[in-house]
Structure 1
Amino acid sequence: MRERTQVLIAGGGPAGATAATLLAQQGIDVVLLERERFPRYHIGESLLPSLLPVLDIMGARETVEQHGFVRKTGAFYGWGGQEWALRFDDPARPAGHSFQVVRSQFDHLLLQHARHQGADVREESQLRRIALSDGRATTASWSAGDGRDGEIDFTHLIDATGRAGMLGARQLRARRVHDVFRNVAAWGYWRGAAALPDAPEGAIGVFSLPDHGWLWAIPLHDGTLSVGLVTDKRSFNQAKDNHGSIDAVYHEALARCPLLARMLAGARQVSALKVESDYSYTSDAFCGPGYYLAGDAACFLDPLLSTGVHLAMYSGLLSAASIAGNLHGEVDEADARRFYQTTYQNAYERLLVLVSAFYRIHDGRDAYFRQAQALSHRDQQGLRLHESFLNIITGEEDLHDAQQDRLNSLYEKLRTPLTGHRAQGLGGHGTSQMLPLPATPDHAAAGLYLCLTPYATLRPIP
């Protein structure tokens, strides 16, 4: 069986579903292949307010709002010897709330929405291989759970296959693992936990441990609390050897966090532990002739600041607009790819710097943990670290004349409070200050900017 589509999307998670929705709404022919049958389990339950404008653009905001997810109005940090609450209704934030979601349900809602908007969504259909002709992605082979298989030709491909990275990681071998954030996460679900005191409604709790590692606590609308431990691999393996099991490591860590221990005092664990290694990586290029890498297929950070779904949907929007602009004849394909590469890479790099900086103010941890979470010289190669820090601090884009400072001095700059923000955490810095949508000429990249009405596309600077 051989067929053709304008756009093939591999993967039905938030990145793929976002792109499929935005393309199908424009009448563009879209086929989405998803390996599994939704709903399916996934971690990454705490969402950022920056997602709400993307849901608005997709027309999916009302569906998500009405589902009943916990309304997340902020975050609570017990970090580096400080305790503070971050409320999303502070000035200049993109929305006053976000959501704590059961990812199986959230992802299913987005995939159904893409289908309802006209995308040809095929579950239990797995991408097998991408054929390249003179370096350009042109054809995909696939197989279905019912034994069918076939090939599909396309004009553009969006690889949203997650950390598996079908094209970028497996075929092109373009993935580069960072030295930082080689951490291990172990998590489970609890019922009957007490509410987090003195925290915004529905807040995530993030707690640094006194020696190394940190814990999360996320309230979910099914009445459970997601509780996870993150630490570096060496410390995790040493603790497992000392305590005899992963469960013992997990429970010992919970006991060392007094606030979380009090929350769980009358609760019971209702699931087995899940474990995953969190490797931070990026790709040599986020796009190429005929293809775009979106979400975790392009890069992965760390769960600390809940950036995974943000980057996925952000890149889904950017890739859809880049492809639409080219298919509508509004921008050249090479220019569209430069826009995507520049914009998505900048977003990833700024978050990489922020997460590393957050780890560096983890007071009291041992020397190895401090070193393990810091950007190495190899990590810094190819990154515009000075520019990234100053963009976070000031929001300015035109920094071509900036001089390179020492990395440690930049971390100190990042701790300086923003005007009008309390001097807590990272000086009041957050994703709303560093990831504005490039939707005006002032925020253009590679000479192009996002136009969101009547549909998501690209426009050249007038």
Structure 2
Amino acid sequence: MRESTQILVIGGGPAGATTAGLLAKAGFQVTLVERDQFPRYHIGESILPSCRPIFELLGVWDKVRAHGFQPKGGAFFHWGEEEWQVSFSEQGSDNTNAWQVIRSEFDKILLDHARELGVEVHEGVSVREIEFDGEQAVAARWFETKKPEVAGRIEFGHVIDASGRGGVLATRHLQTRRFHEVFRNVAAWSYWKGAKPLGKGPEGAIAVCSVPNGWFWAIPLHDGTLSVGLVTGRDLFNDSRQRLGGIQAVYDEALAECPTVLAMLDGAEQVTEMKVEQDYSYVAESFAGPGYLLAGDAACFLDPLLSTGVHLATYSGMLAAASVSSVLRGEVGEKDAWGFYETVYRHAYERLLVLVSVFYDSYRGKDYHFYNAQRLTADERDRLNVQAAFDRIITGVADLNDAESAYQLVQQHLQGADSGDPNPLNNLNRVHEMKQSPLDPTNAVGGLYLTMQPTLGLRVRPGQE
């Protein structure tokens, strides 16, 4: 590995590969270190249409489309006593714009594409520590994951921490990660062969189905398997595991209460052992500092209910690349660019955090502990500053009335009122259509807005030069 680089990216998942690829495409020297050897297993298989514009900007969309992943036409919800679907074709596109993916294959496509764009990629390399000169991040000490005695040091001008939930900067150095009081859940999942089609909802849809103490996902994959996972409360999971004697038993007991997924598994064979992951929700106090940015799960993590993981990863990767590019080209100062990145990415995360909480709160079985535990507390709402977040969000929508209606519904739910609508997405799906980035001067954040032509970067609003 070289001894110095213009930009170091830690992590080769969607956030890191997107950031690194876009920066290399812009002509910068980028080194990426990834602790694993790809392909490697990862959960998070359901992709949203919001990823497509970023993949097109990166130049990888055609590779994703050609790979043969399962096209995803939308989502089907069986939530409490209600059933409904969300069709992506109703969101303005008749073409396939989302997929159900095997993440080992999908992530390798993104990382290999970044390498083709000129990123110097080192797999099987872990970062031991980040060195600082005062508050400025200046270098990283690394070692080979399987041969720790092989180690070295690399200096950098800027570093992007896209190291996932491990969070090199936030957890080891800055100690700025804060866990939310909500969504302290556990996910337990496995894969099945020979499952029946859902038979409802759009073609290739993810099924999201509630049970009294949690919910299931069912995701069809192009290798003929069905990913089926249970999300439940941490304490509920641990109590059930002790009572029943194992993870499989907890999973099976919950499946027996989920008729939609159970019908899909009639005659199917479970072909993998159970996998488990703690599904905590957290956020770093700051996403940026002198010489560094935090992207993807290294900055924040959200409950998987609305399949937003890859969306947040690639979105933050694009914002990070735009911010660093403009700083290096001398178009904006680092302090202003970092302020833009922090504000825009944090508000994208906060918006989804509120939506997920509202979705959980819509469950009609109010006596179930699991659903009560998913509500944002008054303290969490104060920390999030929900009013300010939504004020900024609605400035980016095409139809302000739709945004205000959606915001009013959110407020009703947060205040405990019943909107009368059993499906929170019937109105809140308008929020998903909002322009998440300030893409023109009228929606500038701190006097800056995002531009993709002729190059990806930040621009200063006219009159504020």
Residue 167 of structure 1 corresponds to 169
The answer to whether residue 446 in structure 2 is matched with residue 446 in structure 1 is: yes
Structure 1 Cα separation of the partners of residues 277 and 451 of structure 2: 38
8 Å CA contact retained: 1:390, 1:396: no
1:198-244: CA deviation from partner (whole Å, max 9, x where unpaired)? 221110000011x2200000000010000000011111122222222
Residue 205 of structure 1 corresponds to 207
8 Å CA contact retained: 2:17, 2:111: yes
8 Å CA contact retained: 1:18, 1:313: yes
Give the 5 Å matches for 1:329-348: 329-348=330-349
SS at match of 1:114: helix
Residue 43 of structure 1 corresponds to 43
Deviation of the 1:389 alpha carbon: 4.8
Question: How many aligned positions are there?
Answer: 454
Runs (5+) with no aligned partner, structure 2: 402-406
One-letter code of the match for 1:427? N
Structure 2 Cα separation of the partners of residues 407 and 223 of structure 1: 39
Gap change, CA 1:95 and 1:302, over 3 Å in 2? farther
SS at match of 1:342: helix
Deviation of the 1:424 alpha carbon: 3.7
Deviation of the 1:60 alpha carbon: 0.5
8 Å CA contact retained: 1:157, 1:290: yes
Deviation of the 1:370 alpha carbon: 2.9
8 Å CA contact retained: 1:391, 1:434: no
Which of 132-141 and 373-382 deviates more? 373-382
Structure 2 Cα separation of the partners of residues 88 and 314 of structure 1: 19
Give the 5 Å matches for 1:289-438: 289-389=290-390, 409-411=412-414, 424-430=423-429, 432-438=432-438
Structure 2 Cα separation of the partners of residues 73 and 97 of structure 1: 8
TM-score computed with the length of structure 2 as normaliser: 0.92
Structure 1 Cα separation of the partners of residues 219 and 276 of structure 2: 17
SS at match of 1:115: helix
Residue 63 of structure 1 corresponds to 63
SS at match of 1:89: helix
Runs (5+) with no aligned partner, structure 1: none
Gap change, CA 1:271 and 1:414, over 3 Å in 2? farther
Which of 2-11 and 329-338 deviates more? 2-11
Residue 181 of structure 2 corresponds to 179
Deviation of the 1:85 alpha carbon: 1.1
Structure 2 Cα separation of the partners of residues 265 and 6 of structure 1: 55
One-letter code of the match for 1:191? K
Deviation of the 1:96 alpha carbon: 5.2
Structure 1 Cα separation of the partners of residues 342 and 74 of structure 2: 31
Deviation of the 1:394 alpha carbon: 8.3
Deviation of the 1:185 alpha carbon: 0.5
TM-score computed with the length of structure 1 as normaliser: 0.92
Structure 2 Cα separation of the partners of residues 229 and 334 of structure 1: 43
Deviation of the 1:423 alpha carbon: 8.0
Residue 33 of structure 1 corresponds to 33
Residue 135 of structure 1 corresponds to 135
SS at match of 2:219: strand
Structure 2 Cα separation of the partners of residues 185 and 435 of structure 1: 31
Aligned with 2:153 (options 151, 157, 163)? 151
Gap change, CA 1:197 and 1:413, over 3 Å in 2? farther
SS at match of 1:382: helix
Structure 2 Cα separation of the partners of residues 166 and 320 of structure 1: 19
Residue 218 of structure 1 corresponds to 219
Give the 5 Å matches for 1:83-98: 83-92=83-92, 97-98=97-98
8 Å CA contact retained: 2:37, 2:123: yes
Structure 2 Cα separation of the partners of residues 284 and 190 of structure 1: 40
Aligned-residue sequence identity (percent) comes to 51
8 Å CA contact retained: 2:396, 2:438: no
One-letter code of the match for 2:334? E
Gap change, CA 1:256 and 1:160, over 3 Å in 2? same
Residue 192 of structure 2 corresponds to 190
SS at match of 1:90: helix
Which of 344-353 and 368-377 deviates more? 368-377
